[in-house]
Amino acid sequence: MRIVFLGSGAFGIPTLAHLARAHEVVGIVSQPDKPAGRGGQMTPTPIAAWAKENLPGVPLVCPEKVNAAEIVAQVRGWAADAWVVIAFGQKLGKALLADRFAINLHASLLPRWRGAAPINAAMVAGDEITGNSVITLADKMDAGLVLGTTTRPVPPDATAGEVHDMLAADGPEVVERVLQQHASGTLTPVVQDETLVTIAGKMSKDDGWVDFTRGGRACRQRVHGLTPWPGVTVKFREQGLKLLRVKDHAPGAAGVPGAIIDPARGLVACDGQSVLELVEVQPAGKKAMKWADFCRGKRVMAGEQLVGRMSEQ
């Protein structure tokens, strides 16, 4: 099958690699290079970088505007049997998509968590099951017909980065299944129930907080759901301390929410019903470390306070 692949984020790399092995990828479309890092060096998207290294003979375009007439003509001229879209980053117009079979891999069980950050949103909300959906493209964001899904449990000790990689690895199977059903004429599209829609808004650094009064489980969900980005940074001794991995325990212990009640074990008071255990942290400007190492090095004392937002007094 002749495939056009449109994508930018690392989430699509396993599926693109599979398509390159199982089909003929006739063209790849990604986003333009953008400045990254402290030096602002122009950097290709993960998809563009992977394609340049692994598929040097496949045409790759990275337009500022994918719906520009010359890009529409070029991409449609590749005459593919199917277009696979994964985390591309631009809306595809009607002129580009007309009369083409195009599918999108989205990292949630639609209609739950439409939008830019479905994995983060699912984990912060405490969803115990997540997955992927392959959908048709529609004018409304992530509102297309569902053509196939995968599911997997969300491990309580997993971070959003780890769940991202799990779901990315699940992508090739469901995309391939949908492509084969399309080829054989056996697709069974399902209309999304609009009454069940939830939205996963784009995350920013301003989301990197935790509220210890909400309880250990909610804190764990937020910390893991925002790791590695934007990350949860609390204030300790007037400096930033990023929480990377935690556990929650019940019953809790008395203490002001955010107070360290057992330094050696990394236990932090929450709502009186549960406690949060700090497992791995990252001090400002330093590498990630086990809480036990941080505790010994800083000589943390019982009663010291973690503040859930850096901007709080």
Per-residue pLDDT of the chain (313 residues), as tens digits, is: 999 999 999 999 999 999 999 999 999 999 999 988 778 899 999 999 999 999 999 999 999 999 999 999 999 999 999 999 999 999 999 999 999 999 999 999 999 999 999 999 999 999 999 999 999 999 999 999 999 999 999 999 999 999 999 999 999 999 999 999 999 999 999 999 999 999 999 999 999 999 999 999 999 999 999 999 999 999 999 999 999 999 999 888 888 999 999 999 999 999 989 999 999 999 999 999 999 999 999 999 999 999 998 877 5
In the prediction, which pLDDT does 254 show?
A: 80
Cβ-based burial of 173 (10 A; exposed 0-12, middle 13-18, buried ≥19): middle
- Domains in the chain, ordered, with CATH? 2-200 (3.40.50.170), 205-298 (3.10.25.10)
Three-state secondary structure readout of the chain = CEEEEEECCHHHHHHHHHHHHHCEEEEEECCCCEEECCCCEEECCHHHHHHHHHCCCCCEECCCCCCCHHHHHHHHCCCCCEEEEECCCCCCCHHHHCCCCEEEEECCCCCCCEECCHHHHHHHHCCCEEEEEEEECCCCCCCCCEEEEEEEECCCCCCHHHHHHHHHHHHHHHHHHHHHHHHHCCCCCECCCHHHCCEECCCCHHHCCCCHHHCHHHHHHHHHHCCCCCCEEEEECCEEEEEEEEEEECCCCCCCCCEEEECCCCEEECCCCCEEEEEEEEECCCCCEEHHHHHHHHCCCCCCECECCCCCC
Residue 310 · residue 230 · CB < 8 Å = no
Tell me if 192 sits within 8 A of 201, measured CB to CB: no
CA atoms within 13 A on the CB side of 257: 16
Query: For residue 313, what pLDDT is reported?
Result: 59
Distance CA 167, CA 12 (A): 10
| Contact (CB, 8 A) for 312 and 262 | no
